[in-house]
Structures are given as C-alpha cells and as structure tokens.
Copies of this chain bind each other. A is one copy, B any other.
Amino acid sequence: MADTNGLFNAEVFGKHNFDALDDIYTSDARILPPGAPTIAGRKAIKEFWSNMIQATGAKAAVLESVDAMLAGDGVVEIGRATLTIQDAAQIEVKYVVYWKQEDGRWKWHVDIWNTNA
C-alpha cells in the first residue's frame, strides 16, 4: 500500500503520468472531492486529477497513513496529505480511503478528503 501512495506522489503529481492512476484506483472507484460532486469510474477520475493538477500547478502530494483498519477483504485507511501547489504553497488535507484488491494490487476504491482549514 505504501507503493500505491508513493506512485500517486512520484508519478501523478511529480511527472504528470496520469496513466499511473490505473494502478492506484480500481476501475469502478469513486472519489468525493471537496467542492464538487462525486466522480465515478477511473476514466473520469483520471480527468479530474489531470485537470486539478494542471489548474493548480500542484507538484507533490505526500501521503501519510494515520490508521489502517482491516475490513473484510478491504482496508479502511485514515490518512493525512500535504499538497504542494504553486509557489511552494502547501495545503494540509485529511482523507479516508477504502482499499480493495484488483488484479493483485491494493487500490483505492473509495477516496474522500477535505482540508483542515
């Protein structure tokens, strides 16, 4: 699971490699972003992150797991993230991810977050 979180920072935010999201989200994942309706399906999720990262000039998303609770064949994770956007400004975020396995990889099946301030 640290692999998945690392990919999000290094590939998606660092290199704008949005195809790495295939290894991060399940095909029928849902994200619940602040300030927008729920987005369903990996294709739409890839568009969301592509637009968001390009619009904000985001450069990094460092994720830190706070707690991970085994939940059947999935895991419920509480975490915090630090997003670095334009001019090195940082935004503190907290999140809950419901992880499921797909094709032998742990991926995000439900992903919701909000800001601390």
Q: Say if the beta carbon of A55 comes within 8 Å of chain B.
A: no
The answer for the CA separation of A38 and B116 in the assembled complex, in Å, is 8
Knowing that A34-B115, A35-B114, A76-B110 touch, tell me 12 more A-B residue pairs with CB under 8 angstroms: A32-B94, A35-B116, A35-B117, A38-B78, A69-B98, A71-B71, A71-B72, A76-B76, A78-B110, A94-B112, A96-B112, A98-B98
Determine how close the nearest CB of chain B comes to the CB of A11; give it in whole angstroms. 25
The listed residue (B36, B73, B76, B116) touching A98 by CB distance below 8 A is B76
Residue in chain B with minimal CB distance to A80: B38
Residue in chain B with minimal CB distance to A116: B37
Residue in chain B with minimal CB distance to A38: B94
A residues apposed to B, CB below 8 Å: 30, 32-38, 66, 69-74, 76, 78, 94-96, 98, 110, 112-117
Collect the chain B residues with CB atoms within 8 Å of residue A94's CB.
Answer: 32, 37-38, 112
A32, A38, A98, A117: most-surrounded residue (chain B CB, <10 A): A32
Q: When the two chains form their complex, are residues B114 and A33 in contact, meaning their CB atoms are under 8 A apart?
A: yes
The answer for the CA separation of A21 and B73 in the assembled complex, in Å, is 29
